[in-house]
Structures are given as C-alpha cells and as structure tokens.
Chains A and B, each alone.
Chain A
Amino acid sequence: MKTRKVRPLGSKGVILVMSFILINLFLAWGTQTADCKTRVVVAQGAEATRLDPDLQRETTTQNVVDHIYDALLAMGPNGKIVPALAESWRYLNDTTLELKLRKGVKFSNGEPFNAEVAKYNLDRVLGKLPGAAPTPLVEPELDWVKEYEIVDDYTIQIISKYPAPLALAYLTQKMMVPFQYTKQDNFASLATKPVGTGPYVLKSWMKGSELVLEARKDCWKGIPKIDEIVFRPIPEDSTRIAELKVGNIDLITNVKPDNLEEVKAIKDVDVRSVSSNRTTHLHINTAIAKMKDIRVRKAINYAVDVESLTKNVLGGNGHRVSVICPKSMVGWDPEEKFYPYDPEMAKKLLAEAGFPDGMDITILTPRGRYVNDVAISEAIAGMLTKVGIRTKVNAVEFGIYIDIIFKAHEKEPELVFISWGNALSNTLYDLIPGVLKGGVFNSYTNEKIDSCIEKASSTVDPKKHVEYLRLALREMWIDPPFVYLYNMRDNYGVNKRLVWEPRSDERIYLFDAYVK
C-alpha cells in the first residue's frame, strides 16, 4: 500500500504551538516581592485543622495554637514547669492550689486577662457554661478538678478531688481563650479567627497551602524576633527535604534515620536532635491465654535484640529503655536493668511454659505512622521466629489499627506495636492507661504495680511521687506486661540561619528563636 507523506501541522501550526508554549513559560515565572520582614517557614506533615484550643489535640495543630495562646503555666523545654499567665503558685494544702495571675495581660483584641477569664475558661472545659458545646477532648485532662474560686481579680484557687501530682502539668495544656469575643457568638469564630494572649496572631490561612502567623507588638512576653511564621503542610518526606535543600523551608520535623546523612550533607542546614519523650514498646495482649504466662512474656523480651534494632534499623537514633521511662521524664530510675539478648534463654522459658515447639503469633502495627514501624515489626518478627515464635506481621492503616486496639481481642493480635509521646514529661501519664487495671485496653493485672501507681497518683510530694513511680517501674520489669524496646531521638532539619533548639515533647515553639 502506497502511503504518501503527510505534512504534519504545517508551518503556521508549528508557530502557533511554539508561541503557546513560550507564553506559558513566560507566565510561569511569577514575580516575588522582596520584603524586609524576617520570615521563618516550617513544614509539618499535615496542616492545622481548627484553632480553638479546647476542640483539638493534634500535634500539628498544637504547634500553631502554642504561638497564639498561652496557658496558666508552661512546660519548659526540659520538662520543668514554668510560669506563664500565672506568675506564681503554691499549694495551700494537698488539694488546694492557689495561683497568682499576671497583671496587664491583654488578648490580641484588647480584652484583659484576669481571674474572671480564667474561671470562664475552666467553666467551659468542665461543661459549666450553659449553651456552650462540650469539649470532650480536653475535659478528661481536668477531671481531677473539684471546684475553683476567684479570690481576687488576679488570684484563683483550684481545689482538686484528691491530691493530683499531675495537676500542674495538665494546667500547662489548657490554653486561655478570651471572654467577650467567644461569648458573643458562642465560640463559633474562634476556630478560624483565633484571639489569644500569645505572641502571634493569625495573618492569613489558605487551607492546604500556607498558614501565616504575624508577630504581635503588645504581647506580655515581648515582641518576638521573628516577624512571620509560615506553616506549610508537606506530607511527603522527600519533598520536605527537597524544599529544605533549595532554601524554601527553614525547619522540617521528623527526619527519618535513613535520611539523616542526606540532610546533614546539605550546605546551609543542620540536623538538630533531641531525646524525645516518646517510647516504643510492644504491648502484650494478656487477654489471650498463652500470653498470660509470665515465662512467655519474659521469653519474648529475651528474644528481641533491641541493641541491633536501635543500631541497625534506627541508625543509632534510639536508646534502649529498661521499661517505658526515658531519662528525660519524671520517674526515670538510675538503677534500671535490661533484659539481655539471650535467644537460648528465650527457648528455655518457652519450653518451660509448655511451648517446646514454639507458637504462632501476630504483631499488629500501623503503617508509616511511627518511624520505621513496619520495618521494626518485621525485624522483631524475624528475631522471634528464630526462637520458635513464628510471627506474622499485620500492618494496617492507622485508623484500622486504632479501631482494633479499642476492641477487646481474645484471639489476636498477641503483640501490638505502641509508640507513645508524653506531653507531660511524666511517666505516670503512660502508666495509667497502659498498666493500671481498668485501663482502656488492658487485661493485665498486677496488684503490686497497681498499688504503686495508685500511691504515685495521689501524692503531691515530688520525692514520694518519684519513689512510687520507680517502684512501679521496677515491678513492671520483673513481671513485664510489655516487650521493652527503645526511646527515639527526634531529628529536625534546620536552616543554619535559624537559632532554635528542639524540645523533647515534640512541640515546636519559636518565640525565643531568631534569625541570624
């Protein structure tokens, strides 16, 4: 078949197409306006959702909220409690806390802060404001509060139901919202047009793209050195690193151990790391009969080579923990002991417990929610299989993981990958749900531990508090409800021009930071 040559497009067509392409390219380079404001861009994995501090508990949102609002007290970077809207405090007795509030504090809309406002805030969270929507995310944190009263304009007393050692820590989490502004529309606009006492106000927010905070001139803390903070959500790790490389971003969170070399190699960038409060362990589901046996639980602890995990899979970015309390938190025991890596011992204990041929179990882990979660679970599965505990990994999406955890399970999974951050820097916060009888997903019971925890949670004497916590932890080591693993180092990629140090509680706070 003879085919004649076909003239493509024709010269006119070619010119048309070329000019179209050129025009597009020309329009492509948008103009950038230069500015003499200092601007710091922070990239998180997700964006903030609502800026009403009592209606959310997400780290990504909290990082924004922390710059707009203040609480009565604040958690210092090393876990120590420092004054904020309350200048000073003292315990009148075991259950009565008196706080003296700072004078002259104004919200960004000019409203004053005083004891009336503080009471209003407590009323809201504890459901005492008629017509206001409940705040079930924050209310549990203040369930130790029995009553409170205004002593004078700048003094408030809070009486607790029982001596509450975590009271002060919880008070660092309750941010203060203004009175008039929220009363006039029943809190409706607070989430999108926040008003707080903090050093920044919301300048603009394009959802999914950029949230811009602007420095306030009249904050009680002073004027921050950074004029604008921009929060950008970037879900993909490599994209965050790429933006850091070209200098569009100044601070990225959660640099994975395997990406550290790459980030360290960037010319104008530092890796700043801090030991986090987050501990990782495997929860043993003692609702399953074979897991109840203490020998089985010990065997699993002997069978896992945690050093290898931290050294190899985490690239050295984790430290082994004896139980679940890292050095930075209240309750850490300097005399801690570790289960040595001893596969032979594991096999022996298994045989003693009646499993000479091993057993079959499953590890439940979320996918991509925690650093190297699936990889660590697979690695542990490999180690357990070597001693006869044939392990399958069930790696599921985080929502499904959470739903499975909240349902009681008598068949599987035998082990659950758990990673808990700790905003209060106090191990009691982790012990109550995880170990105490009646905790949310627990069927493990040990009276000694329970009584230590009870005692620790009902004394405000710091020395006794720590003593009881340590006793609880020691007992937990002897009768392990968990497979103890490690605590991570958090790594942040930071542009060298930004002077800022990271915190153990994973919060990003830039008030004291500045640009060189």
Chain B
Amino acid sequence: MSVTGVTSIAVSSMSGYLTRRFVQSIIVIIGISIVVFVISRLSGDPVNLMVSMDTPEKYRVILRKELGLDKPIPIQYLIFLRGALKGDFGESIRYGEPALRLVLQRLPATLRLLLFTLFWSLIFAIPIGIFSAIKRNSFFDLIGMACTFLGQSIPSFWAGIMLIMIVGVYLRLLPISGYGNGDFAHLVLPAFTLGTLEMASFARITRSSMLDVLNMDYVQTARSKGLSEFVVITKHALRNALIPIVTMLGLHVAYMMGGAVITEQIFAYPGVGWLAVQSIYNRDFPIIQAIVMVVSIGIVVTNFVIDIVYTLIDPRIRYD
C-alpha cells in the first residue's frame, strides 16, 4: 500500500471519527458539570461559612434564598444551565463578581506555569530517559534513575519550602512568591517544584518504553541494515516509544491544569489551582463550576489531540 493510499483511508475514517468525538465531548462536558454540581452541593453549606456562629437561622435563610440555594438541586441546575449556555456561570458567592470572569482572569497565570514547567521537564527528562535506556545499567543510568527516584519521592511541599529557604532567602537569587509583573523570575521556583514529579515520571516512562522498543525485531533489523545508531534511535525506536510518553503527557496536563494546587499555594502564585482550593473550602459553587468547566474543556481537547497524535506516530492505529 502506498503512503498516500494509507493516508487517504486514514483521513476518510477520520472525519467520522472527529464528529463522533465532538459529540461525545459535549456529552462529557455536560456530564462533568452535572456531577460537579451535585457533589459540590453535597459538600456543605456556604452560608454557614459566611455568617458568624451566633447568627439566627432566619438570616441564614435569607442569605440562602439570595444565593438561590433554597431551590431543589435539579431546578438549580437548570437555572445554571440556562445561564451557562449564554456564558454566565453565575456570581461568585464570596466575591460577588461573575464567576467565569474571575476564573479567566487567573487562567493565563496557570497556563504560563504549566507550559514553562512542561517545557523544562521534557527538555531534561526525555534525553535522560533515552540515554538511560541506551546505556542501561551504566553509571549514567544509575545516577539518572536515582535522580528521578528522588524527584518522585520528595513531596512537593517539602521541595517548595526548601527551595524558598535556600534559593529565595539564603541565596537571595530569585523572588519567593507571587506573580510580580509576570516576569520569568517568579515562574522559576514554582516550575521547579511542580516539575520534580513531572521530570521523574517522564524520564522513567521514556526509559522504560525505549528499553521495550530497543529490543524489538525491527530495531535489530534497522541496525543490521547498517543504519547509524542515531538514525536507528530517532527514526525507528523513538517513534514507537513515544506512545506511552504522549499518554503521560495528556495525564499530566490534566493534572497540572486543575491542580498545581500545592505549588500555587506555597508560592502564593495567582493561578486557577489556588482559586479552586480556596473556592472549595469556601463552598463557592459558581467558581467551582466555572473552574471545572474550563479545566474539563481543556482536558477533553488535550485528550482529543493526544489521540490524533497517536495516529500520527503509529499510522496503523485505527479507531473503529
């Protein structure tokens, strides 16, 4: 089969696949919004958290009514849905401002942190993983694996606080917390803290899947054909090793979007993760709903992209 032949078959089954995925994505996002809607209302009463303990019940009733929380949950959801379709996710219970706006204000900061972290983690992790696989059981491999092992077993709060103490206070090399005016300096320590686990995961999974692939027949075949080692590794081995790596990428993006929570709190970094935690503790339902909506759209899109990337890496993959 010619290359063009294979590609054209792939493309035609693609469009059916695309529509199917799109429809499913909508269903998923609605499903998420319902699940989160219900779960958050089960998590507690925001009114109890806003009033002082001595406030008589009648005032709490008034507040609940103001916030629309006195209606049965399905009705509350329908009201929410009606607004959501117009882009209105309701007003934050604490801030009194439109919830979606508050979330979108914090989104750029989180995205910057995410991209910065991913970039640096991958730049170090993938080569380390590849070399560890090639030079298995060598000294390099041992050191590399020791570092990744450290990376995954050090809890991020410990790493963060240590970095602040050493780099921020003792050495006074970088700013400690906050956003500053958006400069890279404020991103470095949080990214490093967030990235330790990422780097470890990526390095290990790269190494493992490279090892798998290096033993495969087609790699032996390529070598015996006399191709240079470099070509063997990049053209043949790496492509197939990429699949688990790309999967991890998808999972980590999902994790980081909703949840660089500990890191953001330690560094007082104004991202979506910190807002999410704060809103969950405050039972600020509209913000929770808005964050989950934004994050779930991000996850759905990411996974979709990943599934497409799978087919690019390994054209034999089909989704029938």
Contacts and interface: CB of A to CB of B under 8 A. Distances in A.
Contacts of B229: 3-6
A409 interface: no
Contacts of B275: 208
Interface string B277-308: 01001110000000000000000000000000
Contact of B43 (A17, A206, A239, A399): A399
A294 to B, nearest CB: 25
Interface stretch (B22-30, B145-153, B262-270): B262-270
Interface string B46-69: 001111111111011011001000
Contact of A6 (B95, B102, B105, B134): B134
Given A50-B94, A239-B164, A28 B183 contact: yes
A328 interface: no
Interface stretch (A91-99, A242-250, A284-292, A348-356): A242-250
Nearest to A247: B172
Given A6-B229, A238-B161, A24 B59 contact: no
A233 B176 contact: no
A1 B106 CA distance: 53
A299 B154 CA distance: 46
A439 interface: yes
Interface string B189-219: 0000000000000000000000000000000
A367 to B, nearest CB: 11
Chain A contact patch, size range: 35 or more
B100 to A, nearest CB: 13
B61 to A, nearest CB: 8
Interface in A186-208: 191-192, 206-208
Contacts of B181: 30
A184 B271 CA distance: 34
B102 A24 contact: no
Contact of A403 (B45, B56, B94, B97): B45
A136 B267 contact: no
Interface in B152-172: 161, 164-165, 168-169, 172
Nearest to A191: B96
Contacts, number: 161
B96 A55 contact: yes
Interface in A373-399: 397-399
Interface residues of B, number: 66
Contact of B278 (A7, A46, A52): A46
Contacts of A440: 53-57
B131 interface: yes
Given A140-B56, A235-B265, A8 B131 contact: yes
A28 B185 contact: yes
A308 B115 CA distance: 51
Nearest to B48: A402
Contacts of B179: 206, 208-209
B66 A246 contact: no
Given A3-B229, A24-B184, A399-B43, A207 B48 contact: no
Contacts of A403: 44-45, 48
A364 B164 CA distance: 34
Contact of A246 (B59, B95, B169): B169
A240 B319 CA distance: 52
B274 interface: yes
Contact of B59 (A136, A399, A429): A136
A292 B211 CA distance: 70
A28 B282 CA distance: 35
A497 to B, nearest CB: 19
A22 B44 CA distance: 50
Given A136-B60, A242-B165, A403-B44, A27 B184 contact: yes
B180 interface: yes
Contacts of B96: 49-50, 52, 55, 191
B141 to A, nearest CB: 13
Contacts of B161: 236, 238-239
A235 B59 contact: no
B188 interface: yes
Given A136-B60, A208-B270, A208-B275, A402 B95 contact: no
A55 B51 CA distance: 11
Contacts of B266: 236, 239
B184 A242 contact: no
A432 interface: yes
Given A134-B66, A235-B265, A242-B168, A6 B97 contact: no
A399 B44 contact: yes
A134 B67 CA distance: 11
Contacts of A439: 54
A181 interface: no
A139 interface: yes
Contacts of A281: none
A234 B54 contact: no
Given A3-B135, A239-B267, 13 more contacts: A6-B230, A30-B181, A49-B92, A49-B96, A134-B66, A136-B55, A136-B60, A233-B268, A235-B268, A242-B176, A248-B176, A398-B49, A399-B44
Closest 7 CB pairs of A and B: A208-B270, A433-B54, A30-B183, A28-B185, A234-B268, A136-B59, A136-B63
26 contacts: A6-B134, A6-B229, A24-B184, A29-B183, A49-B96, A50-B96, A137-B63, A191-B95, A207-B102, A207-B106, A207-B270, A208-B106, A208-B179, A209-B179, A210-B178, A242-B165, A242-B168, A243-B177, A246-B176, A399-B44, A399-B49, A420-B53, A429-B54, A439-B54, A440-B55, A440-B57
